[in-house]
Structure 1
Amino acid sequence: MYPSTHSPSNPLFNFVFRSMSVGLVALNYSKTLQAIAAGKKILRQRMKNALQAMSQELITSKSQRLTEQLLSSPEYQKSRNMGIYLNLPKEPNTEKIIQEALAGGRGIFVPQLLSQEYQSVNNLQGNASGMCMRRLSSVRQMEQWPLNRWNIREPPPPTGWDQIADQAIEEGGLDLLIVPGLAFTRLGDRLGRGGGYYDRYLSWYRIKSRSSHLHYPVLLSLAFEEQIIDELPVEPHDIKVDCVISA
């Protein structure tokens, strides 16, 4: 007499049942991630519209308040090496922060997105983020950098290995990293612009810091109150910031 193939005690049944269960979980997980990605896309457009509606006068006023808050914060006061972005027109202005930091003798590093031809070389460091940090030595140097398609200054294309390698890592790492974004929660959840550069970079940096005994930076974001929301759709790879300063 053969055992019933639908009996719960049958090994074949158990194997098939477990396989189906795992498949259903994977399918539901995939659908969940798709729903989160769709929600992010909608929210990004909504936040872009909200930022676009802000007047330049309001952005200037709020940027000044954000600058004052950051410069007086313990996170900034304790830092020696700081990573910071050069802002887009509708982002908090970071120029005054950079000027003050340079005047105070801090090491300043700004992100550079690498073209495909340089990414393969950058991968030799294990950095597959498509982004590296370049040192900014002076305001005059920044003023000489070319304008990109968003009409903001950025480091010129690398011309040698030392410019492709991550200069923040080469010089001991960062104490503080100012992370941009479109939306934030008070708990530190962050919605970027969809490129994933900072999430990938920070994932690599964390691994690098463990193997090279580098200090992992405090992650801080500057935000207009218009960018603060109660809840954000998040994915497993999304990295939270430690602090959000808003105005």
Structure 2
Amino acid sequence: MSNNNREHENLEFIFKQKRILRSKVRQVLKSMDPTLRSQEDDIIQSIVLDAPWFKSSKRLCAYISCSALREVDTSKLLSQILRNPSTDGSMLQTAKKLYVPRVEDKNSNMRMFNISRMDDLVANSMNILEPASVDADGNDREDVMHANDAVDLFILPGLAFDRSGRRLGRGGGYYDTFLKNYKELAKERNWRQPLFVALSYSVQMVDEEIIPLTPNDVLVDALVSPSGVIPISPAALERMKP
């Protein structure tokens, strides 16, 4: 058997394992007690909001949570990021810039656009909130890939995670493709690499090595679960020192 055939068979096996795991995790999420889920949403967001690495981040990419997909809620995080620092009379709160995802097509192409308020979002065909590519005045929104400054922090969704940084997505490949491209951009521009931080319910944490890896999978730097922050990569261990 040629190497190409062997690699293809290996990938097919990995994709099958991922599909099986996705199905199991979806069932577990479906049967998760709604009260517990709500409690964990609050705990996870509070942990992030109180974290120095979040407070010091000036430019962030974050997902808009979708309850139908049973993703960890990000509504409080987004509200805090979009809050104008001058409205509460305190200049201690550093103004932050937020980019959120917009799926462009079914070929794993996703973009991240700058928004300044939640009203900038519209529901797409799947009823998931996304930014329109132009603002209310008809101007093009800033695409993070064309921004002049580096992103400090990515807040990421997923279906399952482990303590070695493996992340199981929903199978579209959107985030892995985007994160890989952004890492390349940061490297080209000599920017510090952003932290990739995923949010996870307790039931989404799995034992190490259960999530199969392909060459295109991007590892996360850290996880936030109801039990706290789990720094994984050297960059996270450095930037998340207590």
Please state which band the TM-score falls in when normalised by the shorter chain: 0.7 to 0.9
1:173 is matched with which residue? 150
Q: In the alignment, does 2:99 pair up with 1:109?
A: yes
Instruction: Give the letter for the 1:70 counterpart.
Output: V
For the Cα contact (< 8 Å) 1:88–1:150, is it kept in 2?
A: no
1:234 is matched with which residue? 213
Match of 1:132 among 107, 111, 116: 111
| Counterpart secondary structure, 1:188 | coil
Instruction: Give the letter for the 1:215 counterpart.
Output: R
| Counterpart secondary structure, 1:219 | strand
Match of 1:155 among 113, 116, 131: 131
1:14 is matched with which residue? none
Partners of 2:139 and 2:215 lie apart in 1 by 33
Q: Matches of residues 165-244 of structure 1 in structure 2 within 5 Å?
A: 166-167=143-144, 169-230=146-207, 231-244=210-223
Instruction: Give the letter for the 2:219 counterpart.
Output: K
Deviation at 1:161, TM superposition (A): 8.2
Partners of 1:101 and 1:196 lie apart in 2 by 26
TM-score, length basis structure 2? 0.79
Partners of 1:38 and 1:198 lie apart in 2 by 19
Fraction of identical pairs, as percent = 30
Considering fraction of residues, name the structure with more strand. 2
| Counterpart secondary structure, 1:45 | helix
Match of 1:96 among 72, 76, 83: 76
Match of 1:52 among 11, 30, 35: 30
Considering fraction of residues, name the structure with more helix. 1
Q: What runs of 5+ residues in structure 1 fail to find an aligned partner? A: 1-19, 117-127
For the Cα contact (< 8 Å) 1:110–1:134, is it kept in 2?
A: yes
Deviates more, 1:53-62 or 1:40-49: 53-62
For the Cα contact (< 8 Å) 2:133–2:140, is it kept in 1?
A: no
Task: Give deviations 1:91-127, integer Å, cap 9, x for gaps.
Answer: 11100011112224211110111147xxxxxxxxxxx
Alignment CA distance shift 1:61-1:149 (3 Å) = farther
| Counterpart secondary structure, 1:44 | helix
TM-score, length basis structure 1? 0.78
For the Cα contact (< 8 Å) 1:188–1:240, is it kept in 2?
A: yes
Q: What runs of 5+ residues in structure 2 fail to find an aligned partner? A: 84-92, 227-242
State the number of aligned residues. 210
Q: Matches of residues 72-83 of structure 1 in structure 2 within 5 Å?
A: 72-83=50-61
